[in-house]
Structure 1
Amino acid sequence: MTSIEHAPTPVPASPYRLALLDDHELIVDGLARWFTDFAADFTVVIRATSWMDLVRDPEFPVDLVLMDLQLGDTVSIESRIRACRAAGAKVIVVTAIDDEESRRRSLVAGAVGFVSKTLPADELVDYARRVMRGERVQRHQPAPRADSAIAGDPPDRHGVALSAAEEKALRYYAQGLSTVEVGRRMEVGYETAKTYLRRVREKYAKAGRPASRKAELIRRAAEDGYLE
């Protein structure tokens, strides 16, 4: 990356909190330096080279995540995007695989942008800035989302054994659905869905893994493989 001159950019009262997720450390470090040097309206608070590093970081959730499409794990890009969105973070997918199908999958899952890694760093900064200002930078037609089939009781994961209904409620909730929407998907009432999620939180608490806040619950779901 070569330095270029930039016109001063107004800095918000509270800089946008940014996370960088790419399994190539050089890319993470390069982007971090660029944002630090040329984008005072952003603060890089997380540098992660794996999905688990991101969700386990105490600074998560953030305002915006720049996320690589392909990582060396089994969690799909859809699940990663939905988990970030559920926690309140916007997502821009930055990828070397700039094909229409990957773009469609990312945007349908809730990403606010999909850009190639060949995009110059200064243009990527400007793109991220426009996203955080609420400008419309991508248009797409939402497509129906296929729900994961869940059958049988799950194994005990890290001391937390969830029933099939509890796991299903957790999966939906971690994808960004509200408690009301979880109930509708499961074809149960709001109070029943709320009870399932309460039991999930209680089981994690008993295992010494707090999950009272939404971000914490999403982190537990990621740690235990419920976002596969």
Structure 2
Amino acid sequence: MPGSSTIRVLLADDQALVRGALASLLSLESDISVVAQVGRGDEVVDAARASGADVALLDVEMPGADGLRAARDLATALPSCRSLIVTTFGRPGYLRRALEAGASGFVVKDTPAEQLADAVRRVAAGFRVVDPVLAAESLAAGPSPLTARETEVLIAFRTAPTVAGVAAQLHLSEGTVRNHLSAAIGKTAARNATEALRIAADNGWLLG
């Protein structure tokens, strides 16, 4: 059983191999114990509550709920459990939204093991931990310029890459879809909708 000074950690990542690797790395630390693992964002709150986790390490892209939503839900339902985003997707927009959602930290998965363990300790102690390169990029990039509807249209365009397809998926007129795509293209300084989608995705504006 973990001691009273041990930091109890929950791992949430939809890739079992990644969860296993993180668990193995953190288990080498005498003051950290992995007490729960889940593969879906909508399982985080229940698992954190059941395990008494102090810190939840959350991936961004997971089924059920993304890591940003999971961080928000955790901050609301179980504020005693702090969240640390650990993701492959080091995008400025994700960092900004994670902190707005109540996450206490944001690091990328190629962070050295000793730095990850230190991040867990600092988050558990009540500090905020942010990848310094991402922090600078986030300040430079600013918030998403897209409206909620423009974001929704771009997300739909990813799976139905025609005006007609987006219109059918979102139950909008084709004219309305064209207007939103045109606005998104202008705001991202893209040449077309496909490029606007890529720019928005690269900046982390299509989640949260």
TM-score range, shorter chain: 0.5 to 0.7
Tell me if 1:32 matches 2:23.
yes
Q: Which residue of 2 aligns with 1:66?
A: 57
Preserved contact between residue 21 and residue 28 of structure 1 (Cα < 8 Å) = yes
Deviation at 1:61, TM superposition (A): 4.7
Q: Which residue of 2 aligns with 1:83?
A: 73
Within 5 Å, give how 1:135-154 maps onto structure 2. Answer: 135-138=127-130
Preserved contact between residue 13 and residue 59 of structure 2 (Cα < 8 Å) = yes
1:93 aligned to which of 63, 85, 88: 85
Q: TM-score, structure 1 length as denominator?
A: 0.51
Distance 1:45 1:20 in 2: 8
Q: Which residue of 2 aligns with 1:157?
A: none
Distance 1:129 1:46 in 2: 17
Q: TM-score, structure 2 length as denominator?
A: 0.55
Deviation at 1:84, TM superposition (A): 1.1
Distance 2:115 2:83 in 1: 16
Q: Which residue of 2 aligns with 1:50?
A: 40
Q: Percent same amino acid among aligned pairs?
A: 29
Distance 1:80 1:97 in 2: 16
Distance 1:24 1:113 in 2: 21
Tell me if 1:22 matches 2:13.
yes
Preserved contact between residue 81 and residue 110 of structure 1 (Cα < 8 Å) = yes
- Counterpart of 2:24 in structure 1: which amino acid? R
Unaligned residue ranges in structure 1 (runs of 5+): 1-10, 149-227
Q: Deviations over 1:91-134 (max 9, x none)?
A: 01011111111110001111111111111222111111122223
Q: Which runs of 4+ in 1 moved over 2 A?
A: 11-14, 51-61, 75-79, 133-141
- SS for the counterpart of 1:91 is strand
Preserved contact between residue 46 and residue 54 of structure 1 (Cα < 8 Å) = no
Preserved contact between residue 82 and residue 103 of structure 2 (Cα < 8 Å) = yes
Superposition RMSD in Å: 2.8
Preserved contact between residue 7 and residue 33 of structure 2 (Cα < 8 Å) = yes
Q: How many corresponding residue pairs?
A: 132
- Counterpart of 2:127 in structure 1: which amino acid? E
Q: Relative to structure 1, is the Cα distance of residues 30 and 97 closer, same or farther in structure 2, using a 3 angstrom cutoff?
A: same
- SS for the counterpart of 1:129 is helix
